[in-house]
Amino acid sequence: MASNVVTIDGRGRIAVPSTLREQLDLKPGDALFVQVEENGSVLRLAKAVNPFDSFAALGEREYRAGRTKNLRTFAAEEGISLDDDGSLPSGTGSRR
């Protein structure tokens, strides 16, 4: 693991070197998790990643590859009855 020296300015901000920002794909406004060891001598930073971003990217890839179905097609294949608005009928289970 490589070590880098960073500086703290008068307002308490840490300057992250451009090589690290590029390596970690850090952009202005990104959130970081901060962890301090109990003895207070080690500070760890980790990029906060929204798991829904990965899920959305997967969905987009599947859609572009033609591997997705609309709700009505899926329901028909699975024997699930839907009301005219595409919702499950009230008071019934998901399958008939």
Q: What is the pLDDT of residues 19-71, one digit of tens each?
A: 989 988 899 999 999 999 988 888 888 888 888 988 999 999 999 999 999 88
Q: What is the pTM of this model?
A: 0.47
Residue with tokens 């880098």: 4
Q: Who contacts 25 (Cβ-Cβ below 8 Å, separation ≥6)?
A: 47
| CA distance linking residue 71 with residue 34, whole number of Å | 41
Q: Who contacts 31 (Cβ-Cβ below 8 Å, separation ≥6)?
A: 47, 48
Total count of residues recorded for the chain: 96
Q: Hey, what domains does the chain have and what are their CATH numbers? A: 7-47 (2.10.260.10), 50-88 (no CATH)
